[in-house]
Amino acid sequence: MRILLITQWFQPEPFLKGLPFAKKLMELGHEVEVLTGFPNHPYGKIYPGYHLQLLQREEMDGVPVVRVPLYPSRDRSSVKRFLSYASFGISATAIGLWAVNKPDVAYVYHPPPTSCLPACLLQLLRGVPFVYDIEDFWPDSLLESGMFNNRFGFWLAGHCCRFLYWAAGKIVVPYPGFKKELCNRGVPEDKIEVIYNWCDDANICLVEKDMALADELGLRNRFNVMFAGNIGNVQILDTVIDAADIVQPKHPNIQFVFVGDGSETEFLKQKTKDMRLKNVLFIGRQPVSKMGSILSLADVLLVQLKDNPLFRITIPSKIQAYLSVGKPILVGVEGDAADLVLKANAGLKCEPGNPRSIAEVVEKFQSMPQSQLDAMGENGRKFYQQELSLKIGTKHFEAVFESIIKK
């Protein structure tokens, strides 16, 4: 097959379904071309070595990439963010479509939905079907993030998305809950395929414990409950600090470790200081290349999100990373995320945002024999390799592409 990947984000930007996905499709014998913008995520500044121009062609690890101009922005302003999304959709349609070879099928990554503009025109003019990969529910997630509260805009975005659901040959979603929600919105069930996301298999995987790194980070001789990722308000990590306060008098060897950074980091550090906790450690943001080694030093890996309808049908990407490194998982998320971890027999569930529940489950983990913890971790690792890895996911996408070409 000749496959065109249309996405606003692509390497060298940090993007999971970018270059690794394209290369894996090529390994399966397909011709792949990418239509994307100039790299600027996550800071809204064009990367060194690139400059905005009408069109740029390059080859990345054998993958041909066509870049078109866009308005670079990661500003909190909804207007500037919309300009970024719209500018890519318009450039990709007006310039990019005429610079790429005619494919057999197009793949569109969402968000943003404006990336579908070139795919819709390609389908209309040249009869090329497209697969719509929906990673984020618009406009619902915009409201949840607080970036968007215009009623007319919400109504308009909802109608645009419904049109794209109708236009797509197939829709791919990463969670069963997304499929159920789309069906509730009138999308035929047989049009939707669930393909779980994978993690960065090249950098995040099972590795031997690096005890020198454990000494460097302050993790040796402690039972480490580790959270890794964005430290924002939706993760409600202040409740984990409260859980640490409950645990500290009874189990001083248990340590809560935060790897990453975010809007709530300084607040959490100050709270830890005010409560005089000795069992909370902040490591800060780390390079992706180091994360496999760091996660492997955890005894338990923690994921937590606020309990609301949107997050109940979402699986945080860190769960795939946690599973792949073969460590037990404490999942403080209701819905699909908890179901996945429990299905894999890879961890235990706590009530999101409940310090006492978090503390009780941490203490339960700490009381388990090491063999039981190791078995949980191995269950998760095997489940990831058999159900969620890049290799497995790409084969599922291949089958979806073939199904709409044959129609």
Q: How many H helices and E strands in the chain? A: 16, 14
pLDDT of amino acid 82: 80
- Report how far residue 331's alpha carbon sits from residue 328's, in angstroms, rounded to the nearest whole number: 10
Report DSSP letters for 37-86, one per residue.
E---TTTTSPPTT----S-EEEEETTEEEEEE-------S-HHHHHHHHH
The 8-class DSSP code of residue 95 comes to: T
- Report how far residue 221's alpha carbon sits from residue 244's, in angstroms, rounded to the nearest whole number: 17
Bond before 369 cis per omega within 30 degrees = no
- Report how far residue 235's alpha carbon sits from residue 353's, in angstroms, rounded to the nearest whole number: 9
Three-class SS state of 287:
coil
Helix (H) or strand (E) holding 194: strand 192-194
Q: What is the pLDDT along the chain (407 residues), one digit of tens a residue?
A: 999 999 999 999 988 899 999 999 999 999 999 999 999 987 889 999 999 999 999 999 999 999 999 999 866 667 777 888 899 999 999 999 999 999 999 999 998 888 999 999 999 999 999 999 998 877 666 565 555 566 666 666 777 888 999 999 999 999 898 899 899 989 999 999 999 999 887 777 677 888 999 999 999 999 999 999 888 888 999 999 999 999 999 999 999 999 999 889 999 999 999 999 999 999 988 888 888 889 999 999 999 998 888 788 888 888 998 999 999 999 999 999 999 999 999 999 999 999 999 999 999 999 999 999 999 999 999 999 999 999 999 999 999 999 999 76
- Report how far residue 30's alpha carbon sits from residue 62's, in angstroms, rounded to the nearest whole number: 12
Residue 309 CB neighbour total at 10 angstroms: 13
Contact yes or no for 198/396 (Cβ under 8 A): no
Q: Would 2-198+389-405 and 211-388 be classified into the same CATH topology?
A: yes
pLDDT of amino acid 202: 75
pLDDT of amino acid 255: 97
pLDDT of amino acid 139: 65
pLDDT of amino acid 140: 65
pLDDT of amino acid 388: 92
Q: Could you give the count of Cα atoms lying within 13 Å of 265 in the half-sphere of its Cβ? A: 17
pLDDT of amino acid 146: 53
Taking Cα atoms as reference points, which of 258, 259, 251 lies closest to residue 360? Answer: 251
Instruction: Say if domain 2-198+389-405 classifies as CATH 3.40.250.10.
Output: no
Tell me the sheet residues that pair with 171: 132, 192
Contact yes or no for 350/330 (Cβ under 8 A): yes
Report DSSP letters for 343-368, one per residue.
HTT-EEE--TT-HHHHHHHHHHHHHS
Please name the fold of domain 211-388.
Rossmann fold (3.40.50)
Strand 223-228 relative to strand 300-304, pairing: parallel
For the chain, domain boundaries = 2-198+389-405, 211-388
- In this prediction the pTM is 0.85
Report DSSP letters for 373-396, one per residue.
HHHHHHHHHHHIIIIISHHHHHHH
- Report how far residue 55's alpha carbon sits from residue 38's, in angstroms, rounded to the nearest whole number: 10
Query: For 327-353, b where at least 16 C-beta lie within 10 A, e where not — what string?
Result: bbbbbbbbbbbbbbbeebebbbbbbbb
CA angle at 130 for the pair 28 and 157, rounded to the nearest 5°: 135
